[in-house]
Amino acid sequence: RFTLRINDTPPFTLIVSSIGHNSQEVTVTQATDNLTITLEEQSIMTSEVVVSASRIEENVMKSPVSIEKLNVLGIRESPQPTFYDALQNLKGVEMSTQSLTFRSVNTRGFGSNGNVRLVQLVDGMDNQAPGLNFPVGNVVGMSELDVESVELLPGAASALYGPNAINGLLLMNSKSPFVYQGLSAYVKTGVMSAANRTQQNTGFYDVAVRFAKAFNDRFAIKANVSYLTADDWQATDYRDQSLTNGTDLNDNVGNVQGNPTYDGVNWYGEVGANLYDILYANGMPGDGTDGSSAAMGAILTTPIPQIGNQTLPQFIAGSDQMAQIGETLSIFENMVPQYYQPAPGYSEQQLTNYPTKSLKLNASLHYRINDEVEAILQANWGKGSTVYTAADRYNIQNFTMGQYKAELRGDNFFVRGYTTRENSGDAHALGVLGSLMGQRYLQTAIGAGAPAFVQNAYTQYAGAFLMAYQQAMEGGAGHDAAIAAARGAANSYAGANREEWMRSAMAPALETANDMYLPGGSDFDATIADIKTRAIPSGANFLDRSNMYHAEAMYNFKRQIDPAVIELIAGANYRVYDLNSEGTLFALQDNGEEFNIREYGAYVQAGRNFNDVFKLTASLRYDKNENFKGQFSPRVSGVLTVAENHNFRASFQRGFRIPTTQNQYIDLLTPQARLVGGLPLFRERYNMIDNPVYALSDVQSGNLTPYPFKEWEPEKVETYEVGYKSAIDNRLFVDLFYYYNRFLTFEGAAVLVQLKDPNGSLADLADPTRRNVYSMPLNAPQTVKNSGWGIGLDYLIGRGFTVTGNVTQNVLLNDDEIRERDPSFVTSFNSPEYRFNVGLSNRDIQRTGWGFGLTFRHQTAFLWNGTIGTPAINVARQSMIPAFSTFDAQVSKKIPSIKSIVKLGGTNIGSKLYTTGWGNPSVGGMYYVSILFDELLN
């Protein structure tokens, strides 16, 4: 029941719409005080209006490209505990789960963690973290209570939305306080269950409140707060990805004690040290500072029992002949073994306690200047703790991000400006943390063991030498012959005993290190806390205070040009990235400052509808980033409507992606490699021209040809798509598509190695201790091609029951060609070939208020290819992600008397563990109960 005041005189037409119902047009022929309008419930959403495909309102059935939409009712009916999780039920959507609160959305292949090829917009604001260039899931996003709709465009959308939207666009729209007024709230709680966690079953808690008020037709406000806390999913894959015990990953389950080169997937800090290198240092006796050898310094002060407990300098004082003996005695390599002492390393569970939380705050002021123009001031702020998987596992604690927007919009234009301000909080890299813990362990162990070794080994070695020398001299040998005999006898004695000398010296030293640095040890917690707070490279903490500033505008010329003649829109944008990691993540300029990045773009689109039978649309966009040449992005699409209800579509577009801020300027040392940006300055900074780098695959094959650097370009893709949509007899909704992509300058990563000593032998490139390893973004040397298809079917059985199903296929077409060219090139395709969902639902059974939703999902196994795995794993193609299936269900009861819905549900019922990516956690089951209160509910 509402009142609508209209200044126009009859006759006129009212268009009445409501989510979940068919729209209805009512012609008013005379003034009246009472109209009764009944809307027919709609289970198959064929009259939904979308704006993301063309930046203008259009019917979803006649969209020129594939589009998926999730509305308020779809969110309520989903078994998933959050609307963001419910996205995985949409056709073609894959999600990489790195944490309960960090899931990366992807479509059409190349599904890396932290997807930089999909743009996520929240009320028109790019929701990426400026220092990462991808959204941190929904950690700092939108409260579920404030979501009006979510639109997803699979595939390229660069022509209208600018760089980076080459694999998809996710557009989240919030509720207007003029339309959705009043108070709403929910409380959700339940149990997370996974057998691999330190505690299998733990609770989670999720609460949210929304309030909106329109004080009159002009001014309205709204505010949201939501908070979630839980114990996160845990990563516990301890297989040995070094492959040194064989070529099959599953045969490498050992540990560091049985395999000194052990490198567990979620086991960190398996660093080692060669005792000889540590003791010998630069070969000069001293106390261990300035590169001197403390062990050789000890040699000069260690009494030798066989010569009356004299030290070596005392023994040789004043005698040239004894000096020669002393010189012989200092041949260090004869005494010290090439003894490799590994640190035991730490499981991920030992380095973090997996707290995850998310606090989201939102407020906005809305003022309607007139009936057509609205001004908005909006602030979104979030704080969260989560875990993110990239080249390392990053524990992001107390991460905050704020987005602040001013916007002026009408039905034919908008102008907006906003800033995104990021603070990484107490973030730290778990692999780096483990490595530094391992180094502390080794420093303690070798520091305690070396003096005992020197005292024991050196005195025995020296005694054996002197006794053999004396015996040779007494036997009539000359001095030189006696020296040679003594050297041989002492070396033989040392060769037979030095390993035992080492073990006897190190055994108590290792016990000391174990008591200090293993979990439960006296210094374990304090050392971890210390390393976490120290910035990289001396610690594991990385700082990111990067900001982004963005301005854009769009204008629809419908008032100047009749849309029946041509629909014309144009827009432009300007953006600045202000990088700030205090030198922990990004490279520095020569003046010690970090870099800024500026880019701008503009677009125009024209469309013509020919008798509601065929619509042709064309658009063109130009973008320029200061580090790269300008790029054009054209799009042409057509929609043919046959018999009013059969819509055939075809499109061609070129999209592109500007390399991320990290891919341009990162300079970070990880346990696997040094990650460097692809800009030419890094080739100069690390002397890659005079001291060439080599592809790791070439080193492994023995083909030692310096890597041929080429111009690094933005990633460009050409996308061809055809599709069909129809609603048959208002009972069966059909959506089909096929796409083909050609990445002309695909961006992947290459693992490059370089001699630490520019004058060293090329054979040293095979020795991990004598080479530098770099991971650098580069363009693929050939065109990368992928394709796929999808089918979506929704069938209304009757009485409100709906069966839904969809299946998609994605495949990298020339994978073999890419591997043959460079086996170590990282494409990060990371997508199952087949994925399908089947669902059954009814939102209101026999109008009783009871509803339910069931969903079964399955995806096939696929090969993971990325920077988180070792180079050996990537080259050997052992990093398989197993196939998995899940079953989700919910049952709900609407209680109109208290304007509430009670919901009981579960995801991955049965809690069978699965993982979505290499190094990612194992996901179990979630079981929950929630109650939603909404003043608008009826």
Q: Which two tokens stand for residue 226?
A: 């939501």
Range of the domain at 18: 1-41
C-alpha 54: how far from chain center: 29
Residue 592 placed within a domain: no
C-alpha 709: how far from chain center: 27
Residue 129 placed within a domain: no
Q: CA-to-CA distance for 416 and 414, rounded, in angstroms? A: 6
Q: Among 533, 556, 571, which residue terminates a domain? A: 533
Nearest to 295 by CA among 423, 127, 453, 402: 453
Nearest to 137 by CA among 349, 352, 353, 358: 358
The torsion angles phi and psi of 8, rounded to 5 degrees, stand at -70, 155
How far from 128 is each of 139, 401, 422, 596, 713, CA to CA, in Å? 11, 10, 10, 17, 22
Going 320 to 325 to 330 to 333, the CA torsion angle's sign is positive
Give the single-character DSSP code of 417.
E
Residue 682 placed within a domain: no
Q: How many CB atoms are located within 10 Å of the residue 762 CB?
A: 12
DSSP per-residue codes, 252-296: ----TTT-TT--BTTEE---EEEHHHHHHTTS-BSSSGGG-BHHH
Q: CA-to-CA distance for 665 and 750, rounded, in angstroms? A: 16
Exposed e or buried b per residue across 381-402, where buried means at least 16 C-beta atoms within 10 angstroms of its C-beta:
bbbbbbbbbbbbbbbbbebbbb
Cα dihedral 93, 98, 101, 103 in deg (nearest 10): -20
> What is the domain count for the chain?
2
Q: Which two tokens stand for residue 514?
A: 């174990």
Q: Among 498, 533, 568, which residue terminates a domain? A: 533
Residue 785 pairs in a beta bridge with 742
Q: CA-to-CA distance for 259 and 282, rounded, in angstroms? A: 29
Tell me the whole-structure pTM to 2 decimals.
Answer: 0.86
Q: How many CB atoms are located within 10 Å of the residue 626 CB?
A: 11
- Helices within 412-478 (DSSP H only): 430-453, 459-474
Residue 790 placed within a domain: no
Residue 359 placed within a domain: no
Task: Say which residues have a Cβ less than 8 Å from residue 293's Cβ, sequence separation at least 6.
Answer: 279, 280, 281, 282, 283, 284, 285, 286, 332
The torsion angles phi and psi of 243, rounded to 5 degrees, stand at 60, 20
Q: Which pLDDT tens digit goes with each residue over 831-845?
A: 999 999 999 999 999
Residue 308 placed within a domain: yes
Q: CA-to-CA distance for 358 and 572, rounded, in angstroms? A: 34
Q: Among 508, 533, 558, which residue terminates a domain? A: 533
Nearest to 266 by CA among 240, 242, 241, 238: 238
**374, 410 contact by CB (below 8 A):** yes
Q: CA-to-CA distance for 94 and 916, rounded, in angstroms? A: 9
Q: Give SS3 for 682.
A: helix
Residue 481 placed within a domain: yes
Task: Count Cα atoms within 13 angstroms, Cβ side, for 847.
Answer: 2
**892, 848 contact by CB (below 8 A):** no
Residue 871 placed within a domain: no
**818, 746 contact by CB (below 8 A):** no
- Averages of pLDDT over each 10 residues, the chain, 938 residues: 73 74 75 74 60 64 84 90 93 92 90 86 93 84 92 83 86 94 97 97 97 96 97 93 71 59 87 70 62 68 78 69 58 60 89 92 97 96 92 91 97 96 92 92 80 75 81 86 85 80 81 91 94 88 93 95 93 96 89 94 94 93 95 93 92 91 89 86 92 87 87 93 92 95 89 89 83 89 93 92 96 89 82 96 93 96 85 80 97 96 97 95 97 87
Q: CA-to-CA distance for 914 and 679, rounded, in angstroms? A: 38
Q: Give SS3 for 408.
A: strand
Environment class of 12 (CB within 10 Å of its CB; exposed 0-12, middle 13-18, buried 19+):
exposed
Instruction: Please tell me the predicted confidence (pLDDT) of residue 648.
Output: 96
Task: Say which residues have a Cβ less than 8 Å from residue 728's Cβ, sequence separation at least 6.
Answer: 645, 734
Q: Which pLDDT tens digit goes with each residue over 114-147?
A: 888 889 999 999 999 998 888 888 877 899 999 9
Q: Give SS3 for 3.
A: coil
